[in-house]
Amino acid sequence: MKFSTRARYGLRLMLYLAVHSKGSPVLLKEIAKREDISEKYLGQIIIPFKARGLVATKRGAQGGYLLGRDPSEILIREIIETQDGELALVECLGQGGGCSRTTECITRELWNEMNVMISGFLEGYTLRDLADKYEQKISGSAVNDYTI
């Protein structure tokens, strides 16, 4: 399984907004430069985030982009699905998917179990969780504790 570049860059864009905006709009140009991603490509990636209410815009001289919701309310799964669509490891697990062997297919059960685990994992993390990890790493307070 591989997530698209749109999903990976979209996650970086959202993390940047969570860490750096602090209530003030951020220009796409700034994000593109700091994240080393084409501004034009980020402009395409941000559109579905705006449509889904994950990103808000502010117009004018002090304008730019902000998170549309609190980062603790934005699941990583939601960010990825906004760019890549519904998470389904194989077609028969997606909406409208299926084949003539669905009822007797044992491998479908395996794919479904894996799909549930991956979805659950991504639902277990919020954008706030990632922002906290980033801030710990930057501040140097992410010290490994090897106590037993």
Looking at residue 23, its pLDDT comes to 81
Residue 81 lies in a domain: yes
In a domain, 144, yes or no: no
Q: Report pLDDT digits (tens) over 99-132.
A: 777 777 888 888 889 989 999 999 999 999 999 9
Reported in sequence order, the residue ranges of the chain that DSSP labels E, i.e. its strands, are: 55-58, 64-67
Read off the pLDDT of each residue in 63-69 and give the average, rounded to a whole number: 94
Q: Cβ(69)–Cβ(126) under 8 Å?
A: no
pTM score, whole prediction:
0.85
Cβ–Cβ under 8 Å, residues 121 and 115: no
Query: b/e per residue, 50-85, with b = 16+ CB within 10 A?
Result: eeeebbeeeeeeeebbbbbeebeebbbbbbbbbbbe
pLDDT digits (tens, 9 = 90+) for 31-43: 999 999 999 999 9
Reported as a single tens digit per residue, the pLDDT across 131-141 is: 999 999 888 75
Backbone angles phi, psi at 104, to 5 degrees: -105, 0
In a domain, 147, yes or no: no
pLDDT at 18: 96
- Higher-pLDDT residue of 49 and 107 is 49
In a domain, 35, yes or no: yes
Identity of the residue numbered 143 = V
Mean pLDDT over 60-64 rounds to: 85
Q: What is the CATH number of the domain that holds 40?
A: 1.10.10.10
C-alpha to C-alpha distance for 58 and 27, rounded to whole angstroms: 10
21 in any annotated domain:
yes
Q: Provide the domain count of the chain.
A: 1
Position 143 scores a pLDDT of 56
Placement of tokens 């939601």 in the chain = 78
Q: What is the mean pLDDT of residues 54-75?
A: 93
Domain that holds residue 18: 5-139
Is 148 part of any domain?
Answer: no
* H or E element in which residue 83 lies: helix 76-84
142, pLDDT greater than 60? no
